[in-house]
Chains A and B, each alone.
Chain A
Amino acid sequence: MKPEIILYVAVMAGVTYLIRMIPFAAFRKKVKSRFIRSFLAYVPYAVLSAMTIPWVLESTGDALSAGAGFAVAVVLSYKGFSLLTAALSASLAAFVVGLL
């Protein structure tokens, strides 16, 4: 590993650990502010959305196969298929469209 990568990973892991550890070790009360509770509840979904759209289109090196794969994942997720099924099916669809 290059030294600069070690720095990046140290910051990444350190911040992520503290976020989990501090409240788990110390915090015993519930968050009272309704706005903060709501904000925190929505953050994971907003983050996943912003990480996926539009960047998923670059994930296979070809927007058409990526779009097809992602569409399959969305439809299967909507129909209630598992995380594993949705992820593998997205790959399969992207692979097939990539061959066309």
Chain B
Amino acid sequence: MVKKSFKKGFLDGIPIGLGYLSVSVGFGILAVSKGLSVLSAVIISMTNITSAGQVAGVTVIAAGGTLIEMALTQLVINIRYSLMAISLSQKLDSSFTTPHRLLTSAFITDEVFGVASTGAGTINVKYMYGLVTAPYIGWLAGTFIGAALERVLPASVTAALGIMIYGMFAAIVVPAMKTSRGTVIAVAIAAAVSCAIKYIPALEFISQGFSIIIAAVIASAAAAVLKPVKEEPDEA
């Protein structure tokens, strides 16, 4: 289990890559169905490598939101990566020079972080590059396949595949709710605020991007007050 070789990292990354391949098909379909080109969808996946942020970003683009709204949306949704990056930085050995940190940081995702940061000992750069290879390939390939298929597949099939990314969100959130009361609170409040903004006529001027930010900030702050985490951030 020593995390020091490219091969070991690559093998560890294969299950993540297969998961990303299927989920990013859903992103590709979503992006094209919202009016983006296949090329735009692939470039977004190439440069962002994050499901939730990309879905929100495509939503902002489709709604004609402002660049400020785009920046704020990405900041709130992806700020968790800062926490993961801080946590993971404690696990790196001396092979992680600044140039390697600048490059590998772009590939930190929830799953990559989960695999890289768990277990004993440090990791080196070879392992890190190996680990992110399959997820990156899977993410790009799936996006391309989904975006290209959007125009080919029958509408009934693409409509059904459009829900896939939300199925993945459920698979991340629901298991966490079973073990953390604070997560239940955060999820419930976020859903309630999100519904309120969507369905209360007086609030309908709020765009979807800002709705996500407002709901997430209120819900996370409330949960943090009611149920502060006890463990280290990487275990929360």
Contact = CB atoms under 8 A, between A and B. Distances in A.
Contacts of B102: 21, 25
Contacts of B194: 49-50, 53-55
The binding surface of chain A is classed by DSSP as helix
Nearest to B218: A46
A88 B159 contact: no
B164 A88 contact: yes
A88 B224 CA distance: 33
Interface residues on chain B, size class: 35 or more
B215 A50 contact: yes
A51 to B, nearest CB: 6
A43 B187 CA distance: 9
Given A9-B40, A77-B171, A83-B23, A45 B198 contact: no
Interface string B49-83: 11011111100110000010011001111111111
Contact of B169 (A38, A43, A51, A94): A51
Given A47-B212, A95-B156, A20 B229 contact: no
Contacts of B157: 95
B211 interface: yes
Contacts of A54: 191, 194-195, 198-199
Given A9-B47, A11-B70, A52-B169, A74 B174 contact: yes
B172 to A, nearest CB: 6
A52 B216 contact: no
B98 interface: yes
A70 B171 CA distance: 11
A91 B55 CA distance: 17
Nearest to A71: B170
Contacts of A42: 182-183, 186, 219-220, 223-224
Interface stretch (B4-12, B86-94, B118-126): B86-94
Contacts of B201: none
Q: Which of B44, B53, B77 has the most CB of A within 10 A?
A: B77
Contacts of B105: 17, 20-21, 24-25
B157 to A, nearest CB: 7
Given A16-B53, A77-B171, A90 B163 contact: yes
Contacts of B101: 21, 24-25
Contact of B172 (A15, A43, A48, A72): A48
A47 to B, nearest CB: 5
B89 A84 contact: no
Q: List the 6 shortest-distance A-B pairs measured between CB atoms, nearest first.
A: A90-B167, A41-B236, A95-B160, A38-B224, A13-B47, A50-B215
Given A9-B43, A42-B182, A95-B156, 8 more contacts: A11-B71, A23-B82, A27-B89, A37-B236, A55-B194, A77-B173, A84-B23, A87-B22
17 contacts: A13-B47, A21-B101, A37-B229, A42-B183, A43-B76, A47-B76, A49-B219, A50-B212, A55-B208, A59-B30, A61-B159, A65-B159, A83-B168, A87-B171, A90-B163, A92-B160, A95-B156
